[in-house]
Amino acid sequence: QVQLVESGGGLVQAGGSLRLSCLASEPTFSYYGMGWFRQAPGKEREIVAAMGWSGNTYYADFVKGRFTISRDNAKNTVSLQMNSLKPEDTAVYYCAADTQRRWGAPRRDYEYDYWGQGTQVTVSS
Q: What is the pLDDT of residues 58-85, one digit of tens each?
A: 999 999 999 999 999 999 999 999 999 9
3-state secondary structure of 121: strand
* Predicted confidence (pLDDT) at residue 101 exceeds the cutoff of 90: no
* Predicted confidence (pLDDT) at residue 1 exceeds the cutoff of 90: no
Q: Which amino acid, 38? A: R
Average model confidence (pLDDT) across the chain? 95
Of residues 28, 30, 66, the one with CA closest to residue 51: 30
Q: Using CA atoms, how far apart are residues 80 and 77, in angstroms rounded to an integer? A: 10
pLDDT at 46: 97
